[in-house]
């Protein structure tokens, strides 16, 4: 009886899970379908689920825009911003986790609070800074901005991961004669690898999907995928087929990447919540 009820319960939970998952995934699925419909099929009413697929939209997208170049830009921005963010946030999180002071908590919250500001609030100053430092429409400039906006998140995440590492292990390193640098590189980092990987992953995804700064700080030279997609929602009218094809091309790499590393990612996002 009890077993049956438990099974019934888990069936209900599974069903709810599926409904939510389909709800979330449906737009992506529809976008994927639309990208193979061609422009006429894309706007047909009622929308058709079954149709003869065509690569027409993809052909046009590749002709009109430089997919490889924007992908390369996006990779540059994502990897660059992530690496630099880690270089800053590992020492910062180390200090906050292992050498906390009276203001550590406050500093952490203050850092996070900068994420609550709408980006558009600092658009003008950042635009002007970027222009005056000749970083406008450069991969470096966009990577820097992305890095700074993600820094609070990466520091927070690493801080939480570091807090889980037993302090005596680091102290044992110190007793063994490790300098601060050796303590971090030879003891802390190997232990925190899963956490650092999750943090890097999240930072990559955030940079990859970032649209606001991409659209405002880049034009032709350093345009990443977000700008590439936007370029297909042009003033000449909405072309759903091409837009869908461009979007599919843009999300495909990160989707595959995320799927491969989903175990790591889930662990990272729920870290601390579940032991």
Partner 1 sequence: MATVELKNIRKTYTSEEIIKGVDLSIESKEFVVFVGPSGCGKSTLLRMIAGLEDISSGDLLIDGRRVNDLAPAERGLAMVFQSYALYPHMNVYQNMEFGLKLAKTPEAERREKILAVAQTLQLENYLKHKPGQLSGGQRQRVAIGRAIVRNPKVFLFDEPLSNLDASLRGQMRVELATLHRRLGATTIYVTHDQIEAMTMADKIVVLQKGIVEQVGSPLELYDHPRNLFVAKFIGSPPMNFLPGTVIAASEEQVRVRLASGQEIAVAAGSAQDLVGAGVTLGVRPEHIRLGDSVENRGSGQVELVEYLGSAAHLHVRMQDGALLVIQTEGGVGVHADDAVTFSFPAERCHLFNSEGVALHRRSSGRMAA
**Binding-residue total with partner 1 (CB under 8 A):** 16
Query: Site for partner 1 (CB under 8 A): which residue of 7, 59, 174, 263?
Result: 174
Q: Which residues, 6 or more positions from 67, have their beta carbon under 8 angstroms from its beta carbon?
A: 61, 228, 249
| Residue closer to partner 1 (CB basis): 6 or 167 | 167
| Residue closer to partner 1 (CB basis): 169 or 238 | 169
Query: Site for partner 1 (CB under 8 A): which residue of 22, 55, 87, 172?
Result: 172
22 lines the binding site for partner 1 (CB under 8 A) = no
164 lines the binding site for partner 1 (CB under 8 A) = no
- Tell me the DSSP string of 91-136: HHHHHHHHS--TTHHHHHHHHHHGGGS-GGGGHHHHHHHHHHTT-T
| Residue closer to partner 1 (CB basis): 118 or 190 | 190
Contact letters (x/-) for partner 1, 184-213, by CB under 8 A?
--xx--xx----------------------
Query: Site for partner 1 (CB under 8 A): which residue of 66, 140, 182, 233?
Result: 182
Q: Which residues, 6 or more positions from 228, have their beta carbon under 8 angstroms from its beta carbon?
A: 65, 67, 70, 246, 250
Q: How far is the CB of 94 from partner 1 (least distance, A)?
A: 17
| Residue closer to partner 1 (CB basis): 177 or 235 | 177
| Residue closer to partner 1 (CB basis): 51 or 98 | 98
Q: What CA–CA distance (Å, rounded) separates 262 from 198?
A: 9
Query: Site for partner 1 (CB under 8 A): which residue of 24, 116, 175, 273?
Result: 175
178 lines the binding site for partner 1 (CB under 8 A) = yes
Cα distances (angstroms) measured from residue 133 to each of 129, 130, 141, 145? 6, 5, 9, 13
| Residue closer to partner 1 (CB basis): 67 or 161 | 161
Q: What CA–CA distance (Å, rounded) separates 162 from 195?
A: 8
Q: Which residues, 6 or more positions from 112, have their beta carbon under 8 angstroms from its beta carbon?
A: 152, 153, 156
Tell me, what DSSP letter sits at residue 237? Answer: E
Q: How far is the CB of 95 from partner 1 (least distance, A)?
A: 17
The residue ranges that bind partner 1 (CB under 8 A) are 166, 168-169, 171-178, 182, 186-187, 190-191
């Amino acid at each position: 009886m009890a077993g049956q009820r438990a099974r019934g319960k888990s069936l209900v939970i599974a069903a709810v899970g599926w409904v939510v998952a389909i709800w979330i995934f449906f737009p992506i699925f529809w976008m994927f379908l639309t990208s193979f419909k061609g422009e006429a099929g894309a706007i047909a009413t009622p929308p058709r689920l079954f149709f003869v697929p065509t690569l027409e939209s993809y052909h046009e997208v590749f002709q009109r825009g430089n997919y490889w170049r924007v992908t390369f830009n996006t990779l540059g921005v994502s990897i660059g911003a992530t690496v630099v963010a880690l270089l800053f946030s590992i020492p910062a999180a180390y200090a906050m986790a292992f050498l906390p002071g009276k203001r550590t908590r406050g500093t952490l919250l203050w850092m996070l609070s900068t994420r609550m500001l709408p980006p558009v609030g600092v658009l003008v100053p950042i635009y002007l800074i970027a222009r005056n430092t000749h970083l406008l429409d450069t991969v470096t400039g966009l990577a820097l901005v992305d890095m700074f906006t993600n820094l609070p998140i990466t520091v927070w995440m690493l801080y939480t991961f570091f807090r889980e590492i037993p302090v005596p292990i680091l102290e044992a390193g110190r007793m063994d004669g490790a300098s601060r640098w050796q303590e971090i590189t030879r003891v802390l980092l190997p232990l925190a690898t899963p956490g650092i990987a999750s943090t890097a992953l999240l930072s990559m995804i955030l940079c990859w999907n970032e649209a606001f700064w991409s659209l405002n700080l880049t034009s032709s030279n350093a345009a990443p995928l977000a700008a590439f997609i936007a370029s297909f929602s042009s003033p000449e009218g909405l072309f759903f087929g091409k837009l869908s094809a461009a979007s599919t091309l843009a999300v495909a790499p990160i989707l595959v990447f995320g799927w491969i590393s989903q175990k790591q990612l889930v662990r990272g996002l729920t870290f601390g919540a579940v032991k």
